[in-house]
Structure 1
Amino acid sequence: MSDLPFGFSNRDDDDARKRGEEPGGPDANNPFGSGGPGAGGFDPSQLGQMLSSLGQMISGMGQPGSAASGPVNYDIAKRLARQQLGASVTPLTSGATSAVTDAAHLAELWLDGATTLPAGATKTAAWTANDWIEETLPTWKRLCDPVAEQISGMWTAQLPEEAREFAGPMVGMLSQMGGLAFGSQLGQALGQLAKEVLTSTDIGLPLGPSGTAALLPAAISEFSAGLEQPESEILVFLAAREAAHQRLFGHVPWLRQQVLGAVEDYARGIKMDFSALEEAAQGIDPMALSDPSKLEEILSQGTFEPQNTPEQKQALERLETLLALIEGWVEVVVIEAVGDRLPGAGALAETLRRRRGTGGPAEQTFATLVGLELRPRKLREAGALWRRLTADAGMEARDGLWAHPDLLPDSDDLDSPAGFIDSVIGGGTNAFDDPLAQLAATEARERDEAERKRAASGEPDSDGPDLGKDSDKS
């Protein structure tokens, strides 16, 4: 295989194939052949034709401009996303907008008694799928640009020095091709997601404008059609979830940056499997890339799929844990707020949990593009931990853990929450800074547990029947 990125093929190899010979030889990896430019290798006279061919392809898929000059062509992404929606997007009615406003107002009232965090949304909006694409695109730019920039730099870094000096204009064309490639895949993902999302925070990321709680009535109606609960109750339940997310992101100052920054940090270590690029490029004449179907063929083979490094796997685990903690907290708070008021709240929560757990084609597409899955793996464990904290430590202690990222449980705590919960109950959040307090709390709980076991077994105990309930025990 040559060391050239996709779109290039070694001419000596091509000639060898035409003669029925095996490609290779001492100069197989030299794009200029053994005699330099023009000496039986790359013909400089073809450079203009190749640039022209690439220019025609780019013009055919989207006019280059300021929006297309970055690592991702967002004009293409937006156009493809809207094309997927087609004529299926119907305008919002005044009744749908009013229903969203009323549901959000009721949800906020109910949430006041379930969390210490005040309302975080300053605006409630009803969106169409097209609105979702438009309003969330700035956040998608922040998420996708670091990955695309990293991979775009790798493309040019793989060019031999002679090729970089000789084919300077080609490098710019390659960057534009990269922008088209990413724009194409992002557009496909956004178009599918726009059909599926129910709220602005439906996939766990703060995608919409800060302080805006948004619901998509048309998608909610379609989602409700297959459920037993009335659509009006489902709307209130989803409004409560959206409002809870907004409270968290609105009043935990570090959280939005922590979530989006985790994706950006993950992107800095992106690696590409260039052997896949080379394999995809074998036998493809650069002149043939004027046909967009060739580019789509390469994309469909997973050519641009990033490769995870060990450091990235650790970063991914941290991000998934944070997303699980957010979703688990929202689930617990919403059930506490609406559980007695909406009989089907528990079933709705389970439906949404499974929906997030299984994912769909849109999430799979985004995972291929960015290397991330948008669904937390330990959502059930996170929900169980927040419920136990609410029952054992109280609402204020539970919500107080969001004061600083170091106070939150980590992935190991989700698997074995007992020690973490003990540390919170033993001394509140300050116990994290006082190991002696943690030790004393742990010893006290061990004594209580031993006394409960003795009482359950019927053994006599000098402390009487109410062990573990004394005022001197924490």
Structure 2
Amino acid sequence: MSANMVDWELAVALGSRVAGDGPAVSTGEAQEVVTGLRADAERSTGLVRDYTGLVAEERTAPVLVVNRAGWVEANAAAFSTVMDPVVARLTEAKGAPSGLSQALGSRVTGAEVGLLLGFLGSRVLGQFDPFHDPSGRLLLVAPNIVHAERQIRADPADFRLWVCLHEETHRVQFTAVPWMREHLFAQVQDLVDTVEPTRMAEDLVAGASRLLRGGGSLLDVVGTPEQREVLDRVTGVMSLLEGHADVVMDGVGPSVIPSVAQIRRAFDRRRQGVGVLDRLLRRLLGLEAKMAQYRDGAKFVRGVVAKVGMEEFNAVWAAPEHLPSRAEIGDPSAWVARVLG
């Protein structure tokens, strides 16, 4: 049903053009990068298991090395999956639009989504896509990895393995913790259930006004108390997942990546954005909040592991109720007291 509201073909075509092809590489180098990333992802599975104790019984979620257009297409499909229930709710409340308004509206929305995907598609290094059936999939964006390693002047072999350690940790999180995928789906459904179609326009206008005054991000555009409660839960989960992956990539790193310390310092500088426009877009798209998830989540994981060790920390994966709240992300001792007693 979301296809009637968003011109996904336009979104993918525009997003691919905006993202571009990435850095110039020869055919031979491109093949070497793809082969190497697949090998690094395979190698990372055992490294993540040995460091964390998490065991993914089988590679049910495939690893795909893609170009920027491939990432845009994959995420358009994921966006469509997420938007289906929202669109269904809006259509139920307001009825289907006329043919002309629907066609015009879908192209406008498709262009907006395409611009967003294009901006992100030129920057994302890798991503676990939990919405792809049946068990999700891991995407490694080869041209962006090459661009980043050149930008920070990292050793290519070290940097590629370092990235794969982070992304493979996400794949292991979802395949070794079988309830995690459905739990995230449930959070999305909870967010959809808070949508009040008759108030959406007012919320969007108010949110846009806040943005123009320099406050908040697009994540704040729709922010009823019910939605904020759900977003707090999602923030806690995502902070855990991102922070855990950062801890793993840095924890494993010294034993297999000689230049890991230099890579981390240079990469953290890169995460801050390289120009005024880039920093503005990151704030508007909520990417500054994403950076906070890496930082705060990693501090939480390190804080808990320092107190009780990795084996006891793994109680976090035992059940949804063991996940940290947003408040507990900032207070590891509170999580330890609640979950481990």
Report the secondary structure of 1:225's partner residue: helix
| 1:50-449 aligned within 5 A | 68=3, 70-86=4-20, 93-119=30-56, 121-122=59-60, 123-151=62-90, 156=94, 171-201=98-128, 206=130, 210=135, 212-270=137-195, 271-274=199-202, 306-349=221-264, 375=290, 377-424=292-339, 428=340, 438=341
Q: Give the AA of the match of 1:308.
A: G
Task: Give the whole-Å Cα distance in 2 for the aligned partners of 1:208 and 1:356.
Answer: 27
Deviation digits for residues 263-292 of structure 1 (CA, Å, limit 9, x no counterpart): 343234344235988xxxxxxxxxxxxxxx
Call closer, same or farther: CA 1:223–1:382 in 2, change over 3 Å: same
Call closer, same or farther: CA 1:223–1:276 in 2, change over 3 Å: closer
Task: Give the whole-Å Cα distance in 1 for the aligned partners of 2:182 and 2:254.
Answer: 31
Report the secondary structure of 1:241's partner residue: helix
Could you tell me whether the CA contact under 8 Å between 1:262 and 1:315 is conserved in 2? yes
Call closer, same or farther: CA 1:184–1:385 in 2, change over 3 Å: same
The higher relative CO (CA closer than 8 Å, separation ≥ 6) is in: 2
Could you tell me whether the CA contact under 8 Å between 1:245 and 1:330 is conserved in 2? yes
Q: Give the AA of the match of 1:382.
A: G
**Could you say which residue in structure 1 is the equivalent of 2:209?**
none
The alignment's TM-score, normalised by the length of structure 2, stands at 0.78
**CA offset at residue 413 of structure 1?**
1.7
**CA offset at residue 217 of structure 1?**
1.9
Q: Give the AA of the match of 2:66.
A: W
**Could you say which residue in structure 1 is the equivalent of 2:214?**
none
**Identity over aligned pairs, percent:** 22
Could you tell me whether the CA contact under 8 Å between 2:7 and 2:107 is conserved in 1? yes
Call closer, same or farther: CA 1:378–1:245 in 2, change over 3 Å: closer
User: Across the two proteins, how many residue pairs are aligned to each other?
Assistant: 317
Could you tell me whether the CA contact under 8 Å between 1:233 and 1:342 is conserved in 2? yes
Call closer, same or farther: CA 1:86–1:357 in 2, change over 3 Å: closer
Could you tell me whether the CA contact under 8 Å between 1:328 and 1:382 is conserved in 2? yes
Call closer, same or farther: CA 1:186–1:211 in 2, change over 3 Å: closer
Greater CA radius of gyration, 1 or 2?
1
Alignment gaps of 5+ in structure 2? 206-216
Call closer, same or farther: CA 1:399–1:217 in 2, change over 3 Å: same
Report the secondary structure of 1:200's partner residue: strand
Q: Give the AA of the match of 2:247.
A: V
Deviation digits for residues 73-100 of structure 1 (CA, Å, limit 9, x no counterpart): 2122112112324565877832122111
Query: Which is richer in helix?
Result: 2
